[in-house]
Amino acid sequence: MESSSKGLLGQVTQFWNLLDDLAESNPESYEKFIEQQLKEGKQLCAAPEPQLCLQTRILKPKEKILFINLCQWKRIPAPQSTTYPVPLRVGTPEDISETSDVYTVIDVAYNPDVLQAAEKDQVKKDQLIRMAMKCIEEQFQFTLSRSYSITKFRIKGSIQRMKQNLMGRQADPTDLREKMRKELTLEEISSTVSNPDHFQLLLPKGEVSSKARCLIEEISSTETQVEMKEPAYELKTVADQNDKPLEIEIKVELPGINSVSLCDLSVSEDDLLIEVSEKYRLHLNLPEFVDTKMTTAKFIKEKATLIVTMPLV
C-alpha cells in the first residue's frame, strides 16, 4: 500500500512539473490547456435540464398513469457517430399523489446534442422516445402502452426532484453498455427483442418510415398481446357558414368505460390512436392535417363516449 501511494505521488509530482515547464516554455498552450480542463470540469458538474415530458400508461404490473421527463445532461456522453450506441440514464420511478390522482414519474437523460438533433427530425425524436420507453420496460419489468402524448409542460414534478433523482445515481454513464444494457442507435433500431439478456434494438437502414410527421409507431413484442376491439365511432368535419372546413370531430363509443383516466389518446398531425384499458383500440388516418396543440378531448360519463375535437391547420 505504501509503495502504491508513493508511486501515485510521484506521478502527480511529475504531472505538475510538466505543467510548470509548459507554463514557462509555451504560456499560450498552458492557458488553453487550463481553460479546457475548467470547461470540461464545469460540464461534468452541470445539472440535468428538462427538455420535454411524455404521458403514457403502465399496463403491468399495476395500471397507472406514467409521466416520462426527457432531460438533457452534459454528463451523458454523446455517441461518436449515428452508427454508435446512444448512452442514456434512467432514474428511479417515483409514485406521486395529487388529491385523488396517483401517477408515476420517471426521469430519463440524454446528451444535449442528441436531443437537439432530434428536435429537427420527428422520426429521430420518436425513436428516442421509444428507446426510453423500452429501457424503462426492461429495467423495471414494466409493460407500457405503445402510445404516448407530449404534454404542454416540459417537466412533471419539480426540477429539484428531477436533479436529485438523476444526480443521486453515481454510475459512470460511459459504462451504460454493460451496466444498463440500454444503448440503441438512431439509424439502427429494430422492432423486436429476441434476447432479453442483451437489449439492443436495430432498425435496418432504409426501413425508417418516410412518414416523419406520424407520431404513432407500433413496436412488435414477443409477449402475448391482448386482443382489443375496435369501438364504434363517428367522424365528421365541421365547417363554417361558407363551407370552409374548421375542425374534425370524432365521437367514440366505449361501453363499460366509466372514467377518462382509462383512455389513452395520442394525436399527430395526420392520425389518431385511442387505447382503452386493453379493451378497445382505434387507429385512424385523418382526412386533413390537424393542430395537435389545440386538440381537446372530453369524456361523457353518462354515455360512455369520448369526443375528440381537432382544429385544422
Per-residue pLDDT of the chain (313 residues; tens, 9 = 90+): 555 555 666 666 776 777 777 777 887 877 777 777 666 555 566 788 888 999 999 999 988 899 999 998 888 888 877 677 888 889 999 988 766 678 999 999 998 888 888 888 888 888 899 999 999 999 899 999 889 998 888 888 888 888 888 887 444 444 444 433 333 444 333 333 333 333 333 333 333 333 333 333 333 333 334 567 889 999 999 998 888 899 999 999 999 888 777 888 888 888 888 888 678 888 888 888 998 888 898 888 899 999 999 999 8
Residue indicated by cell numbers 376491439: 229
Q: What ranges in 26-121 are assigned the alpha helix state H? A: 27-45, 112-119
Helix pair 122-140, 112-119: axis angle to 10 deg: 130
Instruction: Give the pairing type, strands 280-285 and 271-276.
Output: antiparallel
* φ, ψ dihedrals at 24, nearest 5°: -80, -45
Residue 193 grid cell: 427483442
| Listed residue (135, 74, 154, 65) closest to 102, CA to CA | 65
Calculate the alpha carbon distances from 171 to 53, 94, 150 in Å.
Answer: 24, 19, 29
The whole-number pLDDT of residue 184 equals 41
Spatial neighbors of 222 by CB under 8 A, at least 6 apart, are: 192, 193, 194
CA distance 199 to 196: 6
At 12 the pLDDT is 64
Q: Phi first, then psi: give them for residue 261, nearest 5 degrees.
A: -65, -20
* Predicted local confidence at residue 99, as pLDDT: 66
Per-residue pLDDT at 206: 37
The whole-number pLDDT of residue 57 equals 92
